[in-house]
Amino acid sequence: MAVSGVLLVLFLVAHMVGNLKVFVGAASFDHYAHWLRTLGAPLLPGSGYLWIQRTVLTAALVAHVWAATSLALRARAARPVRYAHRRPVRGGYAARTMRWGGVIILLFAVYHVLDLTTGHLNPVGDRAHPYGNVVADFAPQRWYVTLFYTLAVLAVGLHVRHGVFSAVRTLGQRTAAGERRARVAALAVSVGLCAGYLSVPFAVTVGLVG
């Protein structure tokens, strides 16, 4: 859970930094996308690096979902008779929504790949010019897409907020001061990711990027 989660968070950070190139300009953004395909050439074939990354991410995702499912099944089996009256005393909203939040994020990821990677659900869907796809995707009249992205990114933020703390704890963080630092770091990563990811669709919607 922790190791696969850390890999996925590292990807989220790299992906967010790449997204921010949209503020530099269309040429820079498109060039970045092409650079990802030629990364490692001539050592790697075309898109070679991209496929390595996709393979690692898919493996991490499968491991993450498998671990989460087995934990959820164990939790269900561990309490066959439910409480008539149950009140959560701690474990914020983030911790309590890890499982269903994770399912929502997974569904969003599928939509997101079909939208901005393969282009099937994108109004333009020109794979050679991703900048145009992004601009068309978050146009003001497609406010519902922007809204959906916003909710999904916030779900990712909540997931990461508990996830980063929990991963650090799983990997052996064991002091009270370290726990406070881990919680602050988790919040910082979560807020940073949300801000970075939301800036792009909002900038397109309000016309800062066009």
Partner 1 sequence: MNLTLRIWRQPGPGAKGRMVPYRVTGVSPDMSFLEVLDMLNERLTLEGADPVAFDHDCREGICGACGVVIDGVAHGPQKATTTCQLHMRHFRDGDTVDVEPWRSRAFPVVKDLVVDRGALDRVIQAGGYVSAPTGSAPDAHALPVPKADADAAFEAATCIGCGACVAACPNGSAMLFTAAKVTHLGRLPQGQPERPSRVLDMVAAHDEAGFGGCTNTGECATVCPKGIPLETIGQLNHDYLRASRRPAGSRP
- Contact residues toward partner 1 (CB under 8 A) are 70-71, 74-75, 77-91, 95-96, 98, 162, 165-166, 169-176, 178-179
Kindly write down the DSSP assignment for every residue of 97-136, as one continuous string. Answer: THHHHHHHHHHHHHHHIIIIIS-TTSSS--TT-HHHHHHH
Closest Cα partner for 133 from 141, 142, 124? Answer: 124
Q: Toward partner 1, which CB reaches closer, 98 or 189?
A: 98
Sequence letter at residue 44: L
Residue that the structure tokens 């959820």 belong to: 72
Q: Toward partner 1, which CB reaches closer, 42 or 80?
A: 80
Helix (H, G, I), strand (E, B) or coil at 186: helix
Q: Toward partner 1, which CB reaches closer, 77 or 110?
A: 77
Sequence letter at residue 207: G
Q: Toward partner 1, which CB reaches closer, 164 or 194?
A: 164
Smallest separation (angstroms) from partner 1 to the CB of 168:
8
Kindly write down the DSSP assignment for every residue of 47-81, as one continuous string. Answer: THHHHHHHHHHHHHHHHHHHHHHHHHHHHHHH-SS
Smallest separation (angstroms) from partner 1 to the CB of 178:
7
Residue that the structure tokens 């983030």 belong to: 94
Smallest separation (angstroms) from partner 1 to the CB of 68:
9
Smallest separation (angstroms) from partner 1 to the CB of 48:
33
Smallest separation (angstroms) from partner 1 to the CB of 101:
13
Q: Toward partner 1, which CB reaches closer, 27 or 106?
A: 106
